[in-house]
Structure 1
């Protein structure tokens, strides 16, 4: 699955336009609905990925893009294509419909997915028998769904071409190590187990092709509660809790009433952003964790077919070197240099997406009411040209996100264009939660 927040993903379904907030909003809520509905009608080809050349392991580079792990792969000897590696994704999804004509498909079945948000139908193609190749790894019989229309526009969200998502088929094939420090994945041949020295071993439960663990969460002064959390590499947030303050009708002292936590089959997902006092995973403790709280009565709960309390995402996971071992049922954690970094949320109030050649233009699609950007006068549809004299076209969206949540009271000089008029604006970041 995939969660989005702080900046926005632009989503079009027919003529209806939705916005998904980047690191804390549910980009994957709609995706999850699509995937679940398609799964049972697919002629599934079950074959694992294998490490090629009889090697003990394969080292695969990735890019961290807005807290998403993006890898390059070839499909049917075409590509390379950019795919989000997502532990919350069961079925491989191709979101770019142009691939339908370029992959030399031997079999495809067209279906309609009903009831997305406003009730519009979504066409998709079900295809088995694809051949996938990553660096040192391949799969000759994988099944996928190809969307007939790129309604999610993940490329605008990521600021680079994104062609789809892949998850369970990769992680269930072999132990996988993720090192955020050097941006590499390591896939281990099943004949040789990796070394887990100086790691913390935590039980991992794989249900419905998704991994779950248990964590302790302190909301405030109440005793800690045990939460079942999806380990969601496709989610940008640190923590999301679908059951929490919502159950007792209270909210933390500081929170953001985020009306747009995503859109699902039954409509918008409402909720708020706040912090929990502490959480504990294995022997690791975290304080003041930024947390999304979707309403318990929202569409998210109605769509879940596995009971859970929430999810942990990449903004927490990237503080570790991680080994996933689906087959043995464990996750292994080793802290990296970011383990003690505080959790921060966007301090600008600007939500944006990328357009244009090479996705070099940054367009504001929403300004959080009462935020620093709102008080400064930045408006929807403004174009950000530069930040502190550096053109945004020379920056990644990951870099821009990090600037906007870098330091409370930090002043930024923005160059902004509105109606062909260019102005320089001083924006002072403000921590809101």
Structure 2
């Protein structure tokens, strides 16, 4: 069985605050009806550029959150925040609630789309360090506050999002598209679909699932949320991701099928949360789990909060397989390292008539900053633990190739390749190779 890198961003708020009505996001030009932006797809997650109070930042677009979160403020960032008060946040994981700030009436813009009245929740201590896990700087998460104002067309293949004015947008006829109603509960979108588990034969189970573009996995299910929802016999325990309140544990497996209307997706990966995370996640009691970006990226997706519906159309990657990272290694970005590189240039010395030609070499050296990577955790009884790898091992080489020649995505892909593939890793531990 194969496996994919995951990161889950599911937040729950342990407080209630009343704020005045917000103007919300809108096209700066009132006559404009469409705006396209480009995004980066990192670990299946959509990363968009935006400006917060005139500071350029990078946020994950996450349908699974109902608040805008800012959590990566360094000493080099100068973001003026307005009307600030202290609050508490509770997230998935086994830890306690954390301290945060709520800031009102902030200016947020994405190209020609803007709002001057946005409420931002600021995490004071970024315990799960999302930027290291993504391999690029991520400042926060945005969801409902942006999505509620527009109809969005998300094209994972071209990595573009089109924003449309819902009052002037008309859907084109599309024979290959299918429309599903959305139920919004606490400003998060849910849809009905069917799943098949190998514990119940060919039976299809009706489930209500959160649409979670901020989860890079394919499917989450909450064990015992229905009588037939059980972890399959073949599974392995793993860290599913990080929440605000610590690591999220559960069981990873596969299931025969997920059926969304006429669309059938075979052998997707599925994760079952531990009992504590399930309890925290099921604030909506009818919820049975989530479908994440591992499913969504196989479609062109129209998200339509104003009309409470979602439209799906198969994309070219629809039939691709689902992979797991079964190495047991959680590798993260570890900053820049200064690398000495040798540059060799050659030139010909053309001799005069009757002489011999010669080739001369000039060697020079340059110093460049390159990425480095470190082992963040090792899953118990995994291949990585059995091989002797430990937390805080710094990765030097993978299969003889220096680690700085990879991106974090490249490294995770190495752990998702064919079954029983052997990988040779050289690490630095306490200054020794």
Regarding TM over 0.5, the answer is yes
Aligned ranges 1:53-132 → 2 under 5 Å: 53=29, 54-78=31-55, 80-98=56-74, 102-113=78-89, 122-132=98-108
Checking the alignment, whether the CA contact within 8 Å between 2:98 and 2:244 is kept in structure 1 is: no
Note the C-alpha offset of 1:329: 1.4
Which whole-Å deviations, capped at 9, do the CAs of 1:59-108 have from their partners, x for residues lacking one?
11111112211111001222x10111100110111112449983333411
Q: Which residue of 2 is the match for residue 256 of structure 1?
A: 236
Which residue matches 1:301?
279
Distance 1:99 1:193, change over 3 A: farther
Whether 1:217 and 2:195 are equivalent positions in the alignment is yes
Among residues 391, 395, 415, which one is paired with 2:406 in the alignment?
A: 395
Q: Does the CA-based 8 Å contact 1:159-1:360 persist in structure 2?
A: no
TM-score for the superposition, normalised by structure 1:
0.82
Check whether the contact 1:219–1:245 (CA below 8 A) recurs between aligned residues: no
- Structure 2 unaligned runs (5+)? 337-368
Aligned 8 A contact 1:219 1:244 in 2: no
2:231–2:272 CA contact under 8 A, matched in 1: no
Q: Superposed, which structure 2 residues align to 1:240-319 within 5 Å?
A: 240-243=220-223, 247=227, 251-258=231-238, 270-295=249-274, 297-307=275-285, 308-319=287-298
1:217-274, Cα deviation, whole Å (9 max, x unpaired): 1112151110100000000110000135995696423210226665676x87543111
SS at match of 1:173: coil
**Cα shift readout 1:318-355 (whole Å, capped 9, x = no counterpart):** 11111101111111111111101111111322112212
What TM-score, normalized to structure 2?
A: 0.82
- SS in structure 1 of the partner of residue 411 of structure 2: helix
Please give the alpha-carbon distance, in whole angstroms, between the structure 1 residues aligned to 2:231 and 2:95.
Answer: 32
Q: Quick check: 376-385 or 214-223, which moved more?
A: 376-385
Q: What's 2:185 paired with?
A: 207
Once residues 229 and 209 of structure 2 are traced to their aligned partners in structure 1, the CA distance between those partners, rounded to angstroms, is: 22
Larger radius of gyration: 2
- Is 2:57 the partner of 1:46? no
CA distance in 2, matches of 1:387, 1:124: 40
Two-structure CA RMSD over aligned residues (Å) = 2.9
Unaligned runs of 5+ in 1: 1-5, 8-21, 423-433
8 Å contact kept, 2:151–2:304: yes
Q: CA deviation at 1:300?
A: 2.9
Count of matched residue positions in the alignment of Structure 1 and Structure 2 = 393
Secondary structure in 2 matching 1:412: coil
Instruction: State the Cα deviation string for residues 149-168 of structure 1 (Å, max 9, x = none).
Output: 22231111111111111000
More helix by share: 1
1:374 and 2:385 aligned: yes
